[in-house]
Each structure stands twice: as C-alpha cells, then as structure tokens.
Structure 1
C-alpha cells in the first residue's frame, strides 16, 4: 500500500523507513529504493521543522534556492509525499529523467503523508523559499491557491515542452484550475475501483465469454453477483474495509452518491446536498454489510487480506492496490465500480505538480522546472505499471498501455471520476473525511438511521463553511 491511501498494514521491506518528520532514514530503505538524492541536511532540517515551526520550515525550503552548476545544470528541489511502492517508482522516474541531460538535476525531499506535508508546504510558501515544484493532491488546490500559496502555471511555456490542455481529460485538467487560472498539472488519477477474482467469478457463473466480469446493470444485480461469489468462497462475496477509516467510508459513499447524479455544493455558507440520494446510498451500503455479502465491521487491512487470500470474490479499493494483488499471485482483474444507480461515477483524486509560491522566481530555474515536469509526464508509463492512471493521455492511448492488464480495463474510470466537493477544508489528507467518520460510522457499523447520520455530517460541514480559509 502506498501514499497512505488506507491505513498502514505493517512494515514492508520495500518501503523506505521514515523518521518522525517524514524523511527517509538513510540505510533503511528497501532494496533498490533509489532514494539516494535525500541529503543528511534535508533530513535534519525536516526533523527540526517537526518541532520548530515556521523558522525551521523556512530553513528547509532554502534548499530550493536557484543554483546552476558550472556545466549549466540547474539543481531543482522537488517535494512529494509518496512513500512505499509509489515512492520507489517516483524515485526511479526522477532518476530516469535526470539521465536525459535536459539541463536540470532534480533532488527529492520526501515528507510524511497528510497534515505534516501540507503544513510544511504552506510554511515554505509563506516564507517565499519553497521548492521548485511539489506534488499535491488536486483536491487540495482550492484550499491553497486562494491564499497565494501557489504560483500559476504559464501554459505557453509548458506548451514549449509539448504539454497542453488537450493532452488531458477535461475533468482532470479542470480540477487543476481555479477561476480560470491553472494552479496544478496532474500526474495521474487514482480512482476507487473494483478488483475481482476471475476464478471465483467463473465458478459463480458470472464471468463473461471475454474472460471479464459480465456486465452488471443495477444495484439488485450486484447483490445477486456478490451472493453467487459468496456461495463459492463460503465466506464473503465482497471485501470492503472501513472501520475507523473515514477515507474508505467516504470513497464508497461518494461513488454511490454521485451515481445518483447528485450534487454536493460547498460554494456558499451552507452545504447544498441531495438528502434522498445520500440516504439511499447509505441504505445500500448497510445492505452490503450484512455479514454474508461483506463483513459488517471489517477494517481496511482485513479486507485486503481477505481478498488476497481468495476468501472473497470482489474488492472495493483503489488502483494503488494493484502491486499487492500481483504479489499475492491470485487470478484477478479490475474494472470501474459498476453503475448501480444510473449515472457512471467513481470517487478519485490526482497527484498533481504545483509551483509553491516563490517571491522572486529565477526565470531559468522556472524553465528547468517546466522541462522536468514535462519529462516526468511524458515518461509516466512506468507510473502506469504500478497502477495509477496517467493523466497525460498520449501515454494512456499508446499501444503499450493498452496491452497492460488490468490497467487498460479500469482506465475508463478516469472519464467518470469525481473529486471531493470543493472547499478550503476538503481533499485528501484533510479533516473533511474525518468528519464523515465521526458522524456516519454508526450508520455503517450499527445500522443507525442514515438520515440522522448524514444530517449530522452536513451540520458539521456547515460549521466549517462558516469559517474563513485560514490560509
């Protein structure tokens, strides 16, 4: 599991060890991790930032000062929050593009996922000594760009390196913009999808002649398929873990909610929602959690283990679990979550490149940064091999990508994705999904009234909407 999309499930020998500040500990990375660009100074200052506040973070950001070696190579500072397998893959990508000799050398700084990362990034931007580029979740742009923490992208300059709006799906590109200005360039989309065991599906009689799961047209048919698979496994038809995990709860709820073609508008001082769609979605989740179709009280790690050991036929998760399924050696495929309520939809987010604010950016340093980002995008087939759907469509449309299975089978999810409702307090690594956990978990776990649980969540959201954006 990577990028903390779900709760950690114990040590992974390939996962770089992180100190309390979120930096990779030298000598404790897994084999061939490639994270050799991290300096002792970066790690030391990261530790200071964890305990010393703004001043320490400003010192850390100082590693981004524009520099050019005697041979004209620009040293670029690149921050991201990718750990585990994602971190290893990103390290390989950076190493590959550095080797292109395009006039830059990018050095990674890896920080802990979630609030620690976004706090340090904000501190660096406020201090005007931010890294040259940093990965953010696209769902967090609305909270950062209005406060001047991000610089806009010069799309004409980006086009000089053969990256334009036309190279991205409209939903993915538009999420990087705010009020007509582009503040992020997506590397990928990582939607909530459905893995399934092809052997179990065949034994249950629900596998099509093409070797893929036969089409599922509605909510009732999905229950029938899940029960048929449970008849094969003797345990569960579906694995879905949520206990204590607001992100997992929200991903499934929001997928089903958006399949009702329902809106969740946070642009005003009160949330505008479709309560009927929300209640129906929650009632359906309660139906799934009946102890036969799915465990009523499973956490994420339990769900992963169950599916990977062949004790269930289907698994609601993110594309980031592809390496886990491959390593498990089970026969499997993956697809977008079936359309159960009329409108194709999937929850998703994107890792996206941003330009953290710099008071007086050096033009040649910025040009080298644009070249670096373009090179990563154009080399993102390796990112696809690990599971994420590249945002740069020339990669997705390539024959090589179309031969990737199951990636090519779930890639259409990128066309129906839905990011978090837009507000300063929403997005991956924010408290928004924690509010959902606090108010709605009893609906999942104890069969509490969906209308009461959702109403409590909306009231909690309204409290946040009454507050100004702190950044």
Structure 2
C-alpha cells in the first residue's frame, strides 16, 4: 500500500508538472517546529520526497523553536511577505492564525490539483482545518489522549481478552473499581502528570456532550449546564486524587517513571509517548504493555485531540506563483500519502487510505487506539485556543489546581469561564 501510494504521488506530480508547464525545478521553503523523534521522522520524509522528486520539486527545510517563538515568527514573516512556502501548524490554532491574517485559503481546486479532497481525511480534522467553512490547512495526523496499560498487571487480575486488550474498563464504576483494585502495596491505579490533567478533564467534559464555546450564546461555557459538566469532569479527577488512586502532585518525568517502573497499572497521556515505550521494551527495560482509547466514563466516546497540519502562509505583498503553489500542494499530498512512517511516532494518520491500510492495521498499539480519530474533541473554534495560547493558561491556572484541592472544582470552573470571556 505504501509503495503504491508513493507511485501514485509521483505520477500525480508528473501530471501536474506537465499540465502547468512546470519543467524547471521548484524549491519549496519549509518551516516546522518538530524536535526529538518527530523531527527525525519528518526529516526522513523530507529526504525521501527530495530523492523521489529530483529535478522537479525540492524541499528546503528549517526547524524552528516549538510554541510561541514559531507562531510569532511565522505571523510576522507572513505579514511582510517573507514567510516560507509551507509550514506545519496545529489545527487548534487555526482560528487565531486566520484572525491575524497569517494563512492563505486552501481551495477545493488546490486539493484537486494534487489529487486529494476532504473526503480523504477524518471528518474531525477536516472540520478543525476550517474557519466559517473556509479551509486554511490540510490535516497530517491526529494526536490525542490515550490509555497506556501494564499487560502483566492486568493479566494477573484477569482483565485481558484473548488479544491482550483490557476488558471491563468502560463506565465510571468499572474504571474506578480497577483504579482501586490496583492501588495497593505502594502502587497506584493511575499515573498522569498533574500539569496534563486538564486534557483528561476536557475529555470527560466532551464525554458529557458539553459545549465549551459558543460565540453567539455568550462565549465560554455558555450555559449553567455546561459549567456543571466542567465541574463534574474536574471533580472526577479530584476524586481519584483524594482516594489515593493517583499521586496528587507529580511532574511529567516522575509520572512516566512511575508507570515504566511497574508502580502504576495505567498511564493517561498523549500518543506521543509511544516511541518511549517502544524503545524501552526493545532494550528489554519494560514489561509487556499496550495502549487503547480512553475509556468511556460518561455518555459518549470522546478524547482530547489536536492535529499537526500543513498551512500555506499568506505572505502579504508577494506575487502569486501558480507553479509554486502546485508544487506546495504536491508536497502536502505526498506527505499525507506516505504518513505511515509518521505513525511510527504514535500519531494517527489523518489520511484515510493510510489509516485503513493493512500496514497500519498491523501496527501495534497504534491501530488499537486509532478509533479516537473519529470521536476526537478538538479545542473550540476561538482565537484563544491552541498550544501556547490563553486557553492553555486558563486550564493550568484553574482546573489543574482544582484536581489537587487548591480550588473548589465549581469555583475553578466559574473562574475559568469568567477569565476566558474577559479576554474575548
């Protein structure tokens, strides 16, 4: 499948080149924010693309510092026409980027010219790539909150099926019973960094069908019912802390070590930790482990999610170049068609043909939690959302402390709502 997709990408690129008369090699200037294992994998993809497209299209890649520095530099560079031809972006930040005029619209014609369409991607990511129906990004993956588990501990407790997957975890009563069962003799049912608990709270809020933001209805948590759902989600995590099922205060490295040392049965964290566990297990330094979708504790499946995506900066005042744009779209299409390699980092390919391929289905544990791509809860469509943005500060200032008893959950929910609405 992967080789077939690559051949299709090459053929598509050749056809586009002939149709546009683009015989001269195009250089596509690329910026990303990908470090560590993600950076290594992306560089390998860029190298593979350049090798396959010699004499046609070449990517000139640069990696910048993640977070505020990257987004600020892209915004200011685009405003003066000095931005790259293509950049990576988080879909959760698209509304802010559009509000600041940083991004160029990506039309249906742009996609069609590269041989792709919205139908090729997960619906959740497609929706998150648009603002008021206008597309400003093409999804590359979905990454989100999942449940890691110690197979040895669960097997001993009789909680694994014939495929090595956990059983009996859905429903609040069942999951809390499991947490209680594994909390004994200095061990915990669950490990999760204190600073990341807001992602679980937001997932549980989504499982209750809560609305976080509705501009027409008054902004953040527009109804008393929505505020009550946030309170309930926060109280859930606080209850786990109060019962001693998970440590009250624990930083990321310690939370990771608590799980990898066999001192916790479960670990709730993003799928980006997959390479860590894979590498430890390969070296013989980790027990048998797995990962699945977050259990459904309330009414419906939902898990916090975001997406790495590709955007085209607006580059104010820079003359449009149809041949360059066609080359950029070929880069985007090829990257999505070859995203099986990217899935090695734990991410779920947003491109349906890759996610549904035989190769991906045999990729474990990625295919065991891939279902969350269809039930993902993205940040709300507001300029305050996304990494290194005010929404993240509000989660850290109000909700995370509420899980440890520093603020009452109901007070924290109300303060978060008022703080965010004051910034609109």
TM-score by length of 1: 0.80
- Pairing of 1:67-216 with structure 2 (within 5 A): 72-101=24-53, 103-216=56-169
Residue 334 of structure 1 corresponds to 291
2-side partners of 1:228 and 1:310: how far apart? 15
Q: How far 1:389 sits from its partner (Å)?
A: 0.3
Q: How far 1:433 sits from its partner (Å)?
A: 1.1
Gap regions ≥5 residues in structure 2:
1-21
CA contact under 8 A between 2:114 and 2:326: conserved in structure 1? no
RCO higher in structure (CA 8 A, sep ≥6): 2
CA contact under 8 A between 1:309 and 1:328: conserved in structure 2? no
CA contact under 8 A between 1:346 and 1:416: conserved in structure 2? yes
CA contact under 8 A between 2:168 and 2:174: conserved in structure 1? no
Partner SS, residue 334 of structure 1:
strand
1-side partners of 2:390 and 2:162: how far apart? 45
Per mean C-alpha deviation after superposition, the further-off stretch among 94-103 and 189-198 is: 94-103
Residue 198 of structure 2 corresponds to 250
2-side partners of 1:376 and 1:441: how far apart? 36
Q: How far 1:266 sits from its partner (Å)?
A: 4.1
Per mean C-alpha deviation after superposition, the further-off stretch among 300-309 and 316-325 is: 300-309
Q: Deviations over 1:48-92 (max 9, x none)?
A: xxxxxxxxxxxxxxxxxxxxxx98221111111111110111000
CA contact under 8 A between 2:75 and 2:100: conserved in structure 1? no
CA contact under 8 A between 1:334 and 1:410: conserved in structure 2? yes
Task: Specify which of 207, 227, 232 is matched with residue 259 of structure 1.
Answer: 207
- The structure where helix makes up a greater share of residues is 2
- Pairing of 1:14-29 with structure 2 (within 5 A): none
CA contact under 8 A between 1:161 and 1:371: conserved in structure 2? yes
Residue 306 of structure 1 corresponds to 258
1:270 pairs with 2:219 = yes
Residue 316 of structure 1 corresponds to 268
1:462 pairs with 2:414 = no
Q: How far 1:361 sits from its partner (Å)?
A: 2.3
Task: Specify which of 300, 305, 309 is matched with residue 343 of structure 1.
Answer: 300
Partner SS, residue 194 of structure 1:
strand
Q: How far 1:362 sits from its partner (Å)?
A: 1.2
Q: Deviations over 1:261-307 (max 9, x none)?
A: 11112424532151221111111101111363111111222111111
**CA spacing shift, 1:447–1:425, aligned 2, 3 Å:** closer
1-side partners of 2:380 and 2:53: how far apart? 41
Q: How far 1:96 sits from its partner (Å)?
A: 0.7
Residue 395 of structure 2 corresponds to 436
Q: How far 1:182 sits from its partner (Å)?
A: 0.8
Task: Specify which of 365, 373, 393 is matched with residue 352 of structure 2.
Answer: 393
2-side partners of 1:435 and 1:234: how far apart? 33
Per mean C-alpha deviation after superposition, the further-off stretch among 221-230 and 86-95 is: 221-230
1-side partners of 2:271 and 2:347: how far apart? 6
Q: How far 1:409 sits from its partner (Å)?
A: 0.2
Q: Give the number of aligned pairs.
A: 391
2-side partners of 1:203 and 1:234: how far apart? 17
Q: Deviations over 1:421-460 (max 9, x none)?
A: 2211111221211122112333122353111111111110
1-side partners of 2:384 and 2:236: how far apart? 28
Residue 187 of structure 2 corresponds to 235
Q: How far 1:137 sits from its partner (Å)?
A: 0.3
Per mean C-alpha deviation after superposition, the further-off stretch among 258-267 and 379-388 is: 258-267
2-side partners of 1:443 and 1:178: how far apart? 32
CA contact under 8 A between 2:168 and 2:175: conserved in structure 1? no
Residue 411 of structure 2 corresponds to 452
Q: Deviations over 1:165-207 (max 9, x none)?
A: 1111111111111122110000000011111111111112222
- What RMSD in Å do the two structures reach over aligned CA positions? 1.6
Residue 376 of structure 1 corresponds to 335
2-side partners of 1:218 and 1:305: how far apart? 27
